[in-house]
Amino acid sequence: MISRRTLFASTLGITGGLLLPTAGAGAAPADWSRAVVDSTIARYPDPASLGGWGYTRGLFLLGAHRVYQRVKEPSYLAYIKRWVDNFVDADGHMSRTFDNLDAMQSGNLLLVLHQETGDPRYRTAADQIRNRITSYPRTADGGMWHATGKTNELWGDGVFMAQPFLLRYGIAYGDQAYAYEEVTRNLSVYFRHLKASNGLLYHAFDADGDAPWKPDPTTGTSGYFWARAIGWTAMTHVEVLEMLPANHPRRAELIGNVRHLAKGFVRYQDPATGRWFQVVDKASDPGNWTETSASSMYTLMLHAALKHGWISGGAYASAARRGYQGVLRKVSVGSDGLTNISDISEGTNVGDLAYYLNRPRNTNDLHGLGAFLLMNERLAH
């Protein structure tokens, strides 16, 4: 039987061998998600070698779990568990303070493992993050600071780090009332401060106006539209809306946010590649380049918004199709038989135009691998 997801994807013209990327030295695999997970595990056979507790590892492993949910390959779940167990002791304690949003993202894996294994250690560790959220500092209108050392600063890349975790936690453990209110308020506050009239979002906002990246004295925003910050926000809206009750009072506002971004994504999509630029609205700048992780995130949002009926129309369907094709062209198989995903921006702070354009263009950076898996599991399967 053809799945609803595959049927929907086919209406956008995004399935079938014609859209597979050039395989380089190796044959194109039948399942790019599995190939990316298998290749990454082959490169890092000991999960500890992925690195310490942090959002990039959490993003990739969350993507790997989505693949596991489809294919039920036991080694995938075992790999996730081995990585997490480096940080959770026998009593479920984690030696962390969670003083920035980035540190919370991998908490999603604690929820996954508690559900998959029933081991109470993972619930205890998740409780530690949930309890920190209660006391975590916020702006006057309720937005969680990007980090305790970044007073009253809201960064667009921060919402994915805490809000989906909090909502999943609330639904799993009877804490829905707090989670629904806190998560939707944060998305509302962040979007209101970062929103630009062109369909995009500024990277950051500072309520105090004294951040070292020199906020605009009138709006408090940073000066540029960095692609992945917008992508994080886009993915967060999809994840949250898919868990939020249909009658939630802020649901219409969040769908409006998705529509705002969808218009911007269509407006600024590169017609030549189908991808989006590192600084989204500066396509004509000779130093600009199309960035793969953000392009995966934008494609994911467009596809999900079409599927759920939050947006409609041929322009959006075309943008999703061309976005997927464009990302796939950055995926290849090397002479060693392992996959490579190229042109992924390194982790990035708030900066000026030259800073964004000169970020390293990495291959197989976990930002891009995780974003690709989350996108591909929706579009290809």
Residue type, 359: R
Decide if 165 contacts 108 (C-beta within 8 A).
Answer: yes
Whether the CB-CB separation of 325 and 14 falls below 8 Å is answered with yes
157 annotated active-site: yes
DSSP SS3 for 373: helix
Q: How far apart are CA 272 and CA 44, in angstroms?
A: 35
Tokens of 363: 């291959």
- What torsion, rounded to 10 degrees, do the Cα atoms 120, 125, 127, 133 define? -160
Report the phi/psi class of residue 107: left, alpha or beta, with left for phi > 0 and alpha for psi in -120 to 50: alpha
137-to-24, 110, 134 alpha-carbon distances in Å: 49, 23, 9
| Pair of tokens at residue 113 | 């493992």
Determine which one of 31, 38, 99, 157 is catalytic.
Answer: 157
177 vs 94, 114, 136, 144, 180, CA distance in Å?
26, 21, 18, 18, 5
DSSP 100: B
Which sequence positions are flagged as catalytic?
157
